[in-house]
Amino acid sequence: DIDHLNLRVQKELVEWLNWLKADIGFDGWRFDFAKGYSADVAKIYIDRSEPSFAVAEIWTSLAYGGDGKPNLNQDQHRQELVNWVDKVGGKGPATTFDFTTKGILNVAVEGELWRLRGTDGKAPGMVGWWPAKAVTFVDNHDTGSTQHMWPFPSDRVMQGYAYILTHPGTPCIFYDHFFDWGLKEEIDRLVSVRTRHGIHNESKLQIIEADADLYLAEIDGKVIVKLGPRYDVGNLIPGGFKVAAHGNDYAVW
């Protein structure tokens, strides 16, 4: 165990971080198991090493109902993520992985896409409250891969990417999906749509429809994304939009 309250430990870790920055060329940090030490400690390391980007892994359980599925209201869960960023310094480079969105997406793509509209009409994860500080993802080395601790439904992974790569927040692509699953071209197409239309972490999200079999949203008035098996949505797509990417149960205009 590391005693992060020990001043010598803090000094040596800060020196190491600054060496990684100056000599090796790293410019950002990932704080593993960030719930294992206080945000005040993380703030020390960020303030004294000044990375351009920092992201924390704060993986806690969502609130579940008697049916074993996440409750519709996950405000307490996403508030934990917001609180961490607040304490570390909301104006600095600190962000957190949006585990709230991950947990909701896992279930939503299994025929419960209504979950993607929160009770306030916004996105239900951290990305709905503070998108500039939310790092969205479909799976990572813990949840997917060989550890397989909380995997995304494997046949619906591209629906997850269609969501995070068109929405506000800072999307994170999983190495396994990109290089090992044969999804590189599909993911690349979505990335190019995001880049071409300047979708960014604070883009404006308008949710048009959120039913069991259809989620439809418009981002910055430039991009429309559809998730779900419902095919006939032509009457909901404004004129002038053309399909730019599509796959199993998703499409992007």
CB atoms closer than 10 angstroms to residue 220: 16
Residue 29 and residue 49 in contact, taking contact as beta carbons nearer than 8 Å? yes
Asked whether residue 2 carries a pLDDT value surpassing 90, the answer given is no
Angle between helices 7-19 and 39-49 (to 10 degrees): 40
pLDDT at residue 88 in the model = 97
Q: Tokens 């704060």: give the residue.
A: 58
Please report the pLDDT score of residue 1 as a whole number.
Answer: 79
Question: How many percent of the chain have pLDDT more than 90?
Answer: 96
Q: Which domains does the chain have, with CATH numbers?
A: 58-203 (3.20.20.80)
| 57 belongs to the catalytic site | yes
Q: Is pLDDT of 93 > 90?
A: yes
Asked if residues 215 and 227 have their Cβ atoms less than 8 Å apart, the reply is yes
Res. 114: pLDDT tops 90:
yes
Report residue 194 as tokens. 């995001």
Convert the pLDDT of each residue in 146-191 to its tens digit: 899 999 999 999 999 999 999 999 999 999 999 999 999 999 999 9
Work out the average pLDDT over 31-60.
97
Compute the distance between CA of residue 159 and CA of residue 165 in angstroms, rounded to an integer: 10
Residue 128 has pLDDT above 90, yes or no: yes
Average pLDDT value for the chain: 97
Q: Model confidence over 57-82: pLDDT tens digits? A: 999 999 999 999 999 999 999 999 99
What pLDDT shows up at residue 234? 84
Known catalytic residue: 32?
yes
Predicted local confidence at residue 172, as pLDDT? 98
The sheet with strand 245-247 has its strands ordered as 205-210, 215-219, 223-227, 250-252, 245-247
Provide mean pLDDT across the span 97-116. 98
Q: Which of 3, 15, 32, 40 is catalytic?
A: 32
Q: For 206-250, write each residue's pLDDT tens digit.
A: 999 999 999 999 999 999 999 999 999 989 998 899 999 999 999
